[in-house]
Amino acid sequence: MLTVENLKRLGMPAITLSLDAGACLAVMGPSGSGKTLLLRAIADLDPSEGVVAFNGQNKAEVPAPEWRRKIAYIAAEPGWWADTPSEHFRDWSTAQPLLEALLLPADIGNAPITRLSTGERQRLALIRSLAGNPKVLLLDEPTGPLDAASTQAVETLLNQRMKEGTAVLLSTHDAAQASRLADNTLKLANGAAEVVAA
């Protein structure tokens, strides 16, 4: 479904990979090895060389906003541009069922963003992206700031989406999480990249 051929940019080894519908590939490697750069390049948030295609269609042929609605990048520290969570959604009611699934309080919609914890913001950002029903999720450390219970809730939700056909590319420091969620692991280290079975 998603194919990456010889994707190159400064600070990251050349990367070739492919991801089927419903599959999950974990990206692992030390800080600075290029995990975030890879995810951002696939989302076309930074210039890069090489070919990235979704269902055979090169990203260069698709308008960038349309590309990113299908292939959603969620940053390790997601950004916000309004005062409350609900203002970041086209229709806040679509978020309601997911709030419960991710152990967030139902009345969080009108809380000031600045008063939420890092973990709450992280989960809200995931819900915000899922609201657009993307086909591929590019997750940068999605459970980094989360406790065990919330981490499990996020993984359950991701597994459910994968069963429905969403592909996931997941950057993580947690090898156990990689083996729980991913079929394969892409290891980035010392300027080289290799895919190994989880």
Partner 1 sequence: MSFITLDYFDLAMAATLVLVNAGLSLYLSLGLERRFLIAAVRMAVQLTLVGLVLKALFAVSSPLWTALAALFMILFAGREVMARQERRFVGWWGYGLGTSVMLTAALLVTVFGLSTQVRPDPWYDPRYAIPILGMILGNTMTGVALGLHTLTNDAARNRPGIEAQLALGMTRTEAMRNTTRGALRTALIPIINSMSATGLVALPGMMTGQILSGVDPIEAVKYQLLISFLIAGGTGLGALAAVQAGAWRLCDSRHRLRLDRLADPAP
Among positions 66, 83, 164, 194, the unique one binding partner 1 when judged by CB under 8 A: 66
CB-based contact 138:76 (threshold 8 Å): no
Region of 20-28, 43-51, 163-171, 180-188 interacting with partner 1 (CB under 8 A): 43-51
Number of neighbours of residue 190 by Cβ within 10 angstroms: 9
**Cα–Cα distance for residue pair 152/190, rounded to 1 Å:** 32
CB neighbour list of residue 89: distance below 8 Å, 6 or more residues apart? 95, 128, 131
Taking CB under 8 A as the rule, does residue 81 contact partner 1? yes
Rounded CA-CA distance 191/194 in Å is 10
CB 14 within 8 A of CB 7: yes
Exactly one of 31, 56, 61, 65 binds partner 1 (CB under 8 A); that residue is: 65
Binding residue for partner 1, selected from 12, 19, 75, 162, defined by CB under 8 A:
75
- Rank residues 87 and 194 by Cβ distance to partner 1 and give the closer one: 87
Element (H, E) at 18: strand 12-19
- Closest separation between CB of residue 25 and partner 1, Å? 19
Restricted to residues 119-138, the positions that interact with partner 1 (CB under 8 A) are 125, 128-129, 132
Q: Which of 5, 69, 84, 98 binds partner 1 (CB under 8 A)?
A: 69
Q: Is 77 in the site for partner 1 (CB under 8 A)?
A: yes
- Residue 94: DSSP 8-state: G
| Contact set with partner 1 (CB under 8 A) | 43-47, 63-66, 68-69, 72-75, 77-81, 125, 128-129, 132
